[in-house]
Chain A
Amino acid sequence: DAGVIQSPRHEVTEMGQEVTLRCKPISGHDYLFWYRQTMMRGLELLIYFNNNVPIDDSGMPEDRFSAKMPNASFSTLKIQPSEPRDSAVYFCASSLRLVDDTQYFGPGTRLTVL
């Protein structure tokens, strides 16, 4: 398997623009996670899905952020409108189970909002 795939790897945009980050989990994994990492706040769980259904989105910072998983092989994280404080590395991860199982992380998307 190719592992978790994320695109784009780098994104530079201007404040107010819509940003869409994409993720393809490892085939057969039932759980998909979206994380944000910054120097100040570390790695934060934003939302996770089980069998394409959002389970916990308490980490989503505000209504400007939304995530979808229309099928088992694809998920998006959208920011609209984007702000400079959204600049971070966004990771997607997947796993077979939530408990007693490792999460496999994608390479991340480095987002810069000017």
Chain B
Amino acid sequence: GQNIDQPTEMTATEGAIVQINCTYQTSGFNGLFWYQQHAGEAPTFLSYNVLDGLEEKGRFSSFLSRSKGYSYLLLKELQMKDSASYLCAVLYSGGGADGLTFGKGTHLIIQP
């Protein structure tokens, strides 16, 4: 089976940096996604990692270590609008089909 762990909730200050961690156990790993979801809205894509290393995209960066089953999402220069849930999702192959499993999300609260 697939297992994804991420913290339930985090709090950070406007203008600061926050790192949201995600650990996973899966077979047939094919990549890892990060999505952002504001309350009452649909998830929106942030990043995709399949190779080890850091992918930077503006204020957001995502890191992957396949050997450790570990990823993190780094948010810089935090803004109030970054208050949202951040979902880690693992793409895997198995049983003749690819699948996608989401973590339960990390609720990020930004304080002034």
Residues of A within 8 A of B (CB): 33, 41-45, 48, 55-56, 58-59, 91, 98-108
Contacts and interface: CB of A to CB of B under 8 A. Distances in A.
Given A55-B97, A102-B48, A107-B42, A43 B102 contact: yes
Interface string B75-112: 00000000000010101000101111111110000000
A100 B31 contact: yes
Nearest to B42: A105
Contacts of A33: 100
Interface residues of B, number: 23
A89 to B, nearest CB: 9
A42 B103 CA distance: 7
A45 B99 contact: yes
A104 B43 CA distance: 8
Contact of B97 (A43, A56, A102): A56
A79 B89 CA distance: 26
A55 B101 CA distance: 15
Nearest to B47: A102
A59 B97 CA distance: 12
Nearest to A56: B97
Contacts of A103: 45
16 contacts: A33-B100, A42-B105, A43-B89, A44-B102, A45-B100, A48-B100, A56-B98, A59-B99, A99-B30, A99-B50, A99-B91, A99-B98, A102-B45, A102-B48, A105-B42, A105-B43
